[in-house]
Amino acid sequence: MAENQNAPAVFAKSLKKVFANNKNRALDSVALNGIDLVVPKGGLVSLVGPDGAGKTTFMRLVCGLLIPTSGELEVFGMNTATDAEAIQKRIAYMPQRFGLYQDLSIKENMDLFANLQGVPEGERKDKYGQLLSMTDLAPFANRLAGKLSGGMKQKLALACALIHDPELLILDEPTAGVDPVSREELWKILKAAVAQKGMSVLVSTAYLDEAAMCHDVYIINKGVILAQGTPEALTEPYKNRVYFARADGRTPRQMLDLASHSSMILDSTPSGDGVRLLLKKDADLTEAAKELDIPELSPQPPRLEDAFMSLLIAADKPQKDFGENAGIENTKIDDGKPVILVENLVKKFGNFVAVDDTSFSVKRGEIFGLLGPNGAGKTTTFRILCGLLPATSGKVEVAGFDLRTARASARRTVGYVAQFFSLYSIFSVGFNLKFYGGAYGLFGNKLKTAMDAVVRRFGLTGLISKKAGGLNDGYKKRLSMAAALMHNPDILFLDEPTSSIDPLARRLFWRSINRLADEGKAIIVTTHFMEEAEYCTRIAIQDRGHMLALGSPKEVKAVAGLPETANMNEAFIKIVKAYGEAGSADD
């Protein structure tokens, strides 16, 4: 088919995709239902929406990996169903789990993808040089992919996707699990590719600050486009609906609880020593301030997330809690002493210093955030605190137990939720809960009571007999939390607890985490969503094993020279970059 030179990179009209259930047509799944979407040539377009909205399905249709049920879908004027092979030569698709070869070096991975895409040998040297320079991977060209940090792996995946100079680049959550500094670098590469090569880009992302950098944004839910436009056009209606409320002697957690019961407030998130509020349309400012028992609200500029949350809440009318919030009582008395004590912690792997002279403490009721770029040492610190790794030197106490001499005793006081689903996928929800309860010595009525509490708390009623592997990502996270709490631990370790789930679901998780802290549990959390760091009582930012900042969200922003209403992402980047520049100057 001859190409229409005036055609956009992607054109979809009334596009529908149904996944048929051959045994019962009533159970057919409608993934996309009447999608109209355009990616202009040279355009940078983002697709955002909750889990299961249809984003990945749409991208796979554009690539010709799936066939539309009905409607129109063209790439450069060519039909994706009949011209898939011609289209695939001109595009690059980077799925969520891009297939790098861990046992091959950076250069060998690039060679492999160059071979697959038929890049001539004579063009490779210059092309490799450009891509390695663009991604800052040149010094590591001979390093194995499996030895790279998460951010470096994503850069390599992007370099491999760009190896044949595609005219259309399709990226499915390219920065998932990547720290803010690496995300910023990846987006510089993307914007440079659009500006210098005239490349068209279609990207899905869970980070709405990333979507706000695109020319055009489509917000999708349950296979339907809820809104479309430039970031400025989408946020315009919320200019007089976003405010900051100072806590005034209360904690941000207490303010969030008040806001959740307000008749005037649609959405609320912590910010510094207060909360950032999205008011309902036509809400009365005076009444909203009165419900929060504060004198006034300070206006704030809207963000794309405000439009996203408003549209999703209107479309879904989401639940405010997972389940019945059956409390898990703490029987230990809070004596004000730290339940986690870290003094002068050092961890070395051979000559490499992963953690260098780190000190902090955590009390009951605190949510403590361990933050840092990929490779900063936070995961190592996390594993030491969980009793999974021994320290090289320093003092580490968990629930009063010295980890040098009583690691097994300390682990009995701890609940742990891994970043990736680590329960038994082939067994049922109920089996997993019974297994974890039994592992911690729960049997008979004690096991039944504990199971009942966590099932109701995390809204797992009705799923007891369902295989754990058949749950969606959000429910897998719920099950992981439930299993970690079966033995009512004093301390809860959460490693990227909301990775791979959308902003709406993240709100529910943090409401649950806040309640656990209110019940007296000490919670240690890692996250790459910097807005989530605002939920923490205190934050520690590490890089290359060193502690760069320690304090409340407001105090950490002050270290970066920013006001408490500033974006935590900006504070994180400024602190980490300042440390990197100081290190370069020392060298």
- The encoded tokens of residue 516 equal 């656990």
On whether the CB atoms of residues 37 and 80 are closer than 8 A, the answer is no
The CATH number that applies at residue 279 is 3.30.70
Q: Examine the domain organization and report whether 307 and 348 are in the same domain.
A: no
What is d(CA 198, CA 176) in angstroms, rounded to the nearest whole number? 25
104: Cβ contacts below 8 Å, ≥ 6 apart: 112, 144, 145
Domain boundary among 290, 316, 342: 316
pTM of the model: 0.89
Last residue of a domain, one of 285, 316, 347: 316
Asked whether residue 87 is domain-assigned, the answer is yes
Distance CA 511, CA 479 (A): 16
Is residue 327 domain-resident?
Answer: no
Backbone phi, psi, residue 237, to 5°: -65, -10
- Residue 424: inside a domain, yes or no? no
Residues 117 and 224 in one domain: yes
On whether residue 383 sits in a domain, the answer given is yes
Per-residue pLDDT of the chain (587 residues; tens, 9 = 90+): 455 667 899 999 999 999 988 777 777 899 999 999 999 999 999 999 988 899 999 999 999 999 999 999 999 999 999 999 999 999 999 988 777 889 999 999 999 999 988 899 999 999 899 888 888 888 889 999 988 877 788 889 989 999 999 999 999 999 887 888 888 888 988 888 888 888 999 999 988 999 999 999 999 999 999 999 999 999 999 999 999 999 888 899 999 989 988 999 999 999 999 999 999 999 999 999 999 989 889 999 999 999 999 999 998 776 667 766 655 555 556 677 899 999 999 999 988 889 998 999 999 999 999 998 877 788 888 889 988 899 999 999 999 999 988 888 888 899 999 887 888 899 999 999 999 999 989 999 999 999 999 999 998 988 999 999 998 888 898 999 999 999 999 999 998 888 767 777 888 889 899 999 998 999 999 988 888 899 999 999 998 888 999 999 999 999 999 999 998 999 999 999 998 776 545 44
Same domain, 156 and 19: yes
Are 209 and 63 members of one domain? yes
Is residue 450 in a domain? Answer: no
Can you give the residue range of the structural domain that contains 560?
333-413+493-500+525-587
CATH number of 60's domain: 3.40.50.300
Token pair 């051979």: residue = 350
| Cα separation, 549 vs 576, whole angstroms | 10
Per the structure, how many domains does the chain have? 3
Decide which of 184, 204, 233 is a domain's last residue: 233
Q: CB neighbours of 74 closer than 8 A, spacing ≥ 6?
A: 7, 10, 11, 12, 80
| Gap between the Cα atoms of 52 and 501, Å rounded | 10
Do the domain assignments include residue 77? yes
Nearest Cα neighbor of 272 from 238, 295, 247, 250 is 247
| Residue 509 domain-assigned (yes or no) | no
DSSP letters spanning 550-584: EE-HHHHHHHTT--TTS-HHHHHHHHHHHHHHHHH
In this structure, the answer to whether residues 342 and 306 fall within a common structural domain is no
In a domain? residue 400: yes
**Are 100 and 151 within one domain?**
yes
DSSP 27: G
Q: Do both 152 and 46 map to the same domain?
A: yes
CA atoms within 13 A on the CB side of 261: 8
Q: At what angle do helices 106-116 and 150-161 cross, to 10 degrees?
A: 30
Q: Indicate whether 347 and 257 sit together in one domain.
A: no
Please state, in angstroms and rounded to a whole number, the distance separating the CA atoms of residues 169 and 499: 24
Burial class of residue 441, CB neighbours in 10 A (0-12, 13-18, 19+)? exposed
40 and 71 in a single domain? The answer is yes
Q: Are residues 183 and 251 in the same domain?
A: no
In a shared domain, residues 221 and 244:
no
> 225 and 350: one domain?
no
